Structure 1
C-alpha cells in the first residue's frame, strides 16, 4: 500500500561519503606503446557491423532504482533513443486520435495563457510541468484512492518512453469523475475556457479527456495493468468459443452509483418476464474481503453478450467489456472518454436504449442469436479495437500527441512552480508496497521508444461522422420497434 503522505516526498539523504583517489598518471612509455598498437594493429581488425537502431536502444533500469534514490533523492537522467529510428509498421494513428483536434479547438484562436492555466486550478488535484525534458508535479489535494498516483505513474512512463521528445508545458489535472468546465459559461465570442485535463467529458463541457489511471492498474480492486489484462483475456477467449457461451447478456458491477445501473437490475428474469439478461450486483468491500475471487475481469468472457452501463459518469469498465469477443450491448451514454468516440454502432457495439433498456436488451439478444454471423463480427470488431487500437503503444502515442498539440497553443514559457517536486519512477514506486508496487513494476517502460509515435490523422467532418452513427442507431431502433409490434400483435 502507498502512504499518501509519503509518495513524491524526497528521501532523507545520508551523509555523503568522501572517497579520496590517487592519480595514476600513465608513463610516457605506456602512452607510446598504446599509440603504436592503435596505429599499427587497428586497421587489421575487422570491426563487426551492427544495427545502429539496436545499438542506440539502451535498456532503462528494469526496476526502480530505490537504493540510489533513497541515498540521493535525485531522479535518474533518462537518455532517449538516438536517431536513426526504425519506422513502426502501420504507423498511422487510429481514427479516434482525430478527436484531439476537436478537444483543443476551443483555444485555437486565443492560444493558452498562463492565466487560463491558473484558472483551472480550482478543482485540480495536481499541476504537471514539463520543462527541459524533466517532469515536475505540484500537488493541491488528495484524489480518491490511487487515481492521482497511477495517473502520474502513467506520465512517468511516457517520459521513459519518449524522454527528450516531450515539449515544455504545464497542465492542471482533475481526477474526479464528472467534467466541470461548462460550455455555456464560455459562449461569448473570444471567451476561452480554462484548459483542465480529466478522464471524461460530455457534449456540454470543454474538459480535455486523457487516459484514466487504470491503464496502469487499479490496486484497490485488484484490476491489473491493461497490457497484462489483455494478455490474460486473450488466453481466456481462446478457451471459450462464442457459440459455447451462455446465450444471454451479462453485467456485473456496483448498481448504487447511477440511475442507469439501478434500472438495469430490473432486467433480471422474473416469473413474468425473461429479458435475456443476467445481472449481478458487486460489493467491492465484500469482494476485497474474499480476495477478489469473483471479480477477475479476464475470466468474465463467459456469456455471448456483455452489457456496458455508465456509473457516476463514464466507467472504466467499458474497455474491459469490449476486450471480450462478445458483442457489447452499450446502453445509451452521455459521457465519453478519450477513445469511446471512435466506436461505431453496429460495427464495434450494439446500441441499447436507455428509456426501455430491458426490452432493448431482450431484442438485442434475440437478434444476435438469430444472426450469429453478424453478432460474432460485432464482438470480434469490438475486441480487435480493445486489443489493437487501444494497446499501450497507442495509449502512449495518444498521450504524446495530445500533449504536443496542447503545447503548440502556449503563449508563454512555463516555469517550475516553487512547491513542485521532480517526477520520476523512483519518486513514486520507492514508497509503494504490495499491489501498488507490483502493478508499477508490471507496467514499467523498460526501453525508450526506438520508433517515432504514430502519424496523427487530420481533422474530419464531425457532422458527417455524427450523422452516420445516428443512422446506425436509428436503424437498430427501427428493427427493435418492428420486433415489439409483431410480438404485441401476437398477444
Structure 2
C-alpha cells in the first residue's frame, strides 16, 4: 500500500483543486449569462407589456405606502409634460404640404402627435361665465336686419381671411398676409373647435381681420355696418370680438399655448407665496408701442423719487437672440403687484398678468377683448386712472402693503377668474356660442366660393416647422369625450340700465369711486363728506363696500356719496 507523501498529496490536491476551480468558474459564468438574459427579458416585458407604476395609472399596489390620490383637482389644470397621445396628422411627401389628405388625421406620424387637451373643470357649471352675455351686444347691430351677402362683401376689403363652413367642412380664402402667425393660430383654434364639437358648428360665412385696431363704425343713414371679426373693440366701434391667437401659442415671442402656460403660472404661484414677493408694482414690456406706456415709464424708481414701481423695458429682438431666457412669463410672478396697461390696442398680456395671484393694477383701458369685459374693478383688480398713473400706483402699493389680507384677496379673485372662467373649455364654448348666434343672423345659405381652399389640420400644421409646429401640436384639442358633448348654457343679454352702469364703473369717475370705496372701507366704512368727486349713484360690481342687491344676474352696489 502506497503511502502518499506530503509533496504528492499537495500535488494531487492542486490538480483536483484546479479542476474544481475551472468547473466552478464555468458554472458561475453560465449563471451570470442566465441572470443577464432574465434581467433583460423582464426589462422588455416591463416596458412593453405592463402599465408603468406611476401616479398617473390609477393602480394601487399594497407594497407602496403612499397611494395615488383619486380626488379631482380643485382647479382645471393642463398637463404640459405628458407624453404625446395616439392622435396624429397625415403629412404626405407626395402631395403639396398645404393640402388636405383624403382621410385626414388617421396615420400615426409621431412627429405630429399632439399633447392631450386640458382637463375639463371637475364641477362644470351649467351656465357660462357672465362675460358671455356680451355676445348678444356684439351682434346687436344686425339683430333687426340680419346679415346679407352684400353686407359681408363690404367687409372683404378690411379682412385678412374669409372662413366658410358648410356641412361641418371648413374652407378658407386669404386676402393678404398678416403680422407674424396670427392668422395661422387663429385658424388653428377654429379647427380645434370643429374637433371638439363635431357636427355642432352651423353653416356660416365670415370675414376676419387680424390687426390690432378696431375699424368698424356705425355708417350714416341708419345702414347696418359690415360684419367683421377681430380681437378687440372700443366703445365707438362695432367689430365682433373673438379670442385672440395667443390662446394656441405665440411662437415669435416664445409664449406657449394658454393651457400650458396657465399650469406654469399656477406652479409659480405655489412656489412663491404672495407675502414673500417683492413689495412693488411690476411691469415689463415694450413702452414704444403706445404713448400711455411711455407715460407709465415716468413712474419708475429714480434717485429722487420712488413711486413703488419697478418697470422694465423689453427689446424682443434681443430677447430672441437670448432665446427668451429673461422673458419667461411664469418667472414674473415674483412681485406683489402687477401692472396691466394696453399697447397699441388691447394687450394679450392681460391673462398672464392677472394669473399671477398678485393684485393687478389695471390702467384704465380704451380697448376691450372678449373676456376683459367680465373683469370688475375692486373685485378682480385695482383700477388706475390714465391721467394720474404714478400717484395712483404708489397709493395702491402702500395701501396694499398695509392691508395685506384685503389686497391679497383681490389678487386671488382676479387670478381665480383667469384660471377658472378663462379655462380653455370656456374659450371654446365662447367661440361656439358666438359663431352659432352669428350664423342665425345670416339671410343667405353659405356655399363654398370658387376661390376658397379646403381647410384642415394638415393644411395648417404640415407646412410649419420649429416652434410654430411645436405650439400647434401642443395646443391640439382631443376628440370629444362623447358625440353629444354640450357647451355651457349661454346667458341672456344685458338690460340697457345694466349696460349703462357697467360702462360707467370703468370711466375716470367710476375708477375714483371704486378706489375711494376700498380706502373708505379700511377706515371703518364711514361716509365721506366733501370728497371732491361730486358723484352719487350706483356702480355695478363687487366694490367691497355698501349694500348689494341682485339685478339681472349682476351685483348692484349702492355707494355712499357726499352728504
Q: Same fold (TM over 0.5)?
A: yes
Gaps spanning 5+ residues in structure 1: where?
1-58, 80-86, 484-491
| SS of aligned partner of 1:363 | helix
The partner residue of 2:405 within 356, 370, 373 is: 373
Q: Deviations over 1:193-245 (max 9, x none)?
A: 00000000000000000000000000001000000000111111101100000
Residue 103 in 1 paired to residue 138 in 2? yes
Residue 427 in 1 paired to residue 495 in 2? no
Residue 240 in 1 paired to residue 266 in 2? no
Cα separation, 2, equivalents of 1:352 and 1:94: 25
The partner residue of 1:141 within 176, 184, 187 is: 176
Aligned to 1:64: 89
Residue 265 in 1 paired to residue 303 in 2? no
Aligned to 2:185: 150
Aligned to 2:492: 458
Residue 277 in 1 paired to residue 309 in 2? yes
Aligned to 2:160: 125
Asked whether the 8 Å contact 2:104–2:458 carries over to 1, the reply is no
Shift of 1:479: 6.5
Aligned to 2:335: 303
Given the superposition, is the C-alpha separation of residues 315 and 163 from structure 1 closer, same or farther in structure 2, using an over 3 Å criterion? same
Aligned to 1:475: 513
Given the superposition, is the C-alpha separation of residues 381 and 433 from structure 1 closer, same or farther in structure 2, using an over 3 Å criterion? same
Asked whether the 8 Å contact 2:100–2:456 carries over to 1, the reply is no
Q: Deviations over 1:305-362 (max 9, x none)?
A: 0000110000111111011100010001000000110000010111001101011100
Shift of 1:70: 4.2
Q: Which range moved further: 258-267 or 268-277?
A: 268-277
Residue 169 in 1 paired to residue 204 in 2? yes
Shift of 1:373: 1.2
Matches within 5 A, 1:313-462: 313-450=345-482, 451-462=485-496
Q: Deviations over 1:104-139 (max 9, x none)?
A: 000010000001111101121000000011000000
Asked whether the 8 Å contact 1:75–1:422 carries over to 2, the reply is no
Given the superposition, is the C-alpha separation of residues 399 and 120 from structure 1 closer, same or farther in structure 2, using an over 3 Å criterion? same
Given the superposition, is the C-alpha separation of residues 217 and 266 from structure 1 closer, same or farther in structure 2, using an over 3 Å criterion? same
Cα separation, 2, equivalents of 1:420 and 1:60: 32
Aligned to 2:194: 159
Cα separation, 1, equivalents of 2:157 and 2:86: 37
Cα separation, 2, equivalents of 1:403 and 1:380: 32
**TM-score, normalised to structure 2's length?**
0.71
Asked whether the 8 Å contact 1:69–1:426 carries over to 2, the reply is no
Given the superposition, is the C-alpha separation of residues 439 and 75 from structure 1 closer, same or farther in structure 2, using an over 3 Å criterion? farther
Shift of 1:475: 2.2
Shift of 1:73: 3.8
Asked whether the 8 Å contact 2:308–2:393 carries over to 1, the reply is yes
Of structures 1 and 2, the one scoring higher in RCO (CA 8 A, sep 6+) is 1
Shift of 1:417: 1.1
Gaps spanning 5+ residues in structure 2: where?
1-83, 107-121, 524-563
Cα separation, 2, equivalents of 1:481 and 1:325: 21
The partner residue of 2:256 within 209, 214, 224 is: 224
Shift of 1:448: 2.0
Aligned to 2:147: 112
Given the superposition, is the C-alpha separation of residues 75 and 278 from structure 1 closer, same or farther in structure 2, using an over 3 Å criterion? farther
Cα separation, 2, equivalents of 1:425 and 1:357: 45
Given the superposition, is the C-alpha separation of residues 473 and 466 from structure 1 closer, same or farther in structure 2, using an over 3 Å criterion? farther
Asked whether the 8 Å contact 2:90–2:101 carries over to 1, the reply is no
Asked whether the 8 Å contact 2:283–2:340 carries over to 1, the reply is yes
